[in-house]
Amino acid sequence: MLAKRIIPCLDIRNGRTVKGTNFVNLRDAGDPVELGRLYSDQGADELVFLDITASFEGRKTFTELVERIAANISIPFTVGGGIHELKDVERLLSAGADKVSVNSAAIKNPDLINQIALNFGSQVCVAAIDAKQMPEGWRCFLNGGRVPTDRMLFEWAHEAEDRGAGEILFTSMDHDGVKQGFANEALRKLSDELTIPVIASGGAGAKEHFRDTFIEGHADAALAASVFHFGEIPIPELKQYLCGLNIPIRL
């Protein structure tokens, strides 16, 4: 049976992990490769590395990092951040990334999704969407949630699927960082309406939140950062717990 996926997300600046971690047994917790390998050993199903560097030099460092990740880690990984055009996608895929996630660039230039799907296949294209619940419904935001757009979540997710995205990574800005659970109602609607997998993001604070997003939110995968980085939810414990509830999980 196809397993629900648990995905730690690492923010990278100038080739180093940004958020602190409290892994005492790591030689260098700032090294994304070491941290990624630790997660892989613990049973993470995939990894996401987000480049938050703005500079040109930073991009080069990130590409070199992607090469090191591909050489050292034996599970699939997605890279995102700073992907503006097809050339960026090509650079990261040839460095060894399995998938790329596009966010703001795809909203500004939706054809980028078609181009990625056409050139590299839908399976490499993750459409990341940041959205916030407004009186008129779920609205998409740009640049990490600072700039509202004229796009609404469900309409844009359908369009992204039609254009060839292989997965939707939906982050609820209302839930992100609050640790009170994922946006399961919106996730369920997305998952039920779309024919591509949906990754839940934003809101993980307890093991039960993962259970809820898989059972109530119909999510295919769940992504989290700080609860893993700070050891609040150890991945082996989380997976044992979910497995005990008969949720299909890879142990």
Partner 1 sequence: MEIAIVKYNAGNIRSVIGALTRLGVTPILTDNEEELRRADKVIFPGVGEASTTMEYLKAHGLDRIIKDLRQPVLGICLGQQLMCSRSEEGNAECLGIFDVPVLKFQPARHEDKVPHMGWNTIETTRDGLFKGFSKPEYVYFVHSFYVPECQWTAAKTDYIVPFSASLHKDNFYATQFHPEKSGPTGERILKNFLDI
Q: Hey, is 151 helix, strand or coil?
A: strand
Nearest to 130 by CA among 118, 138, 119, 122: 138
CA 248-127-50 angle, 5° bins:
85
Q: Using CB under 8 A, which of the segments 151-159, 170-178, 217-225, 239-247 binds partner 1?
A: 217-225
Residue 175 sits in the site that holds partner 1 (CB under 8 A): no
Residue 159 sits in the site that holds partner 1 (CB under 8 A): no
Sites for partner 1 among residues 114-153 (CB under 8 A)? 120-124
Q: Spell out the residues 6+ positions from residue 39 whose beta carbon is closer than 8 angstroms to its own.
A: 8, 47, 228, 235
Token pair belonging to 161: 């699927």
User: Which residue is associated with the tokens 């409290």?
Assistant: 22
- Let me know if 11 is a catalytic residue: yes
- Let me know if 162 is a catalytic residue: no
- Looking at 22, 94, 109, 180, which residue binds partner 1 (CB under 8 A)? 94
Sites for partner 1 among residues 14-33 (CB under 8 A)? none
Pairing state between β 221-224 and 198-201:
parallel
Catalytic residue of the set 45, 51, 88, 130: 130
Binding site for partner 1 (CB under 8 A): 1-3, 5, 40, 45, 67, 70-72, 74-76, 93-96, 98, 120-124, 166-167, 192, 195-197, 218, 220-221, 250
Catalytic annotation, residues:
11, 130
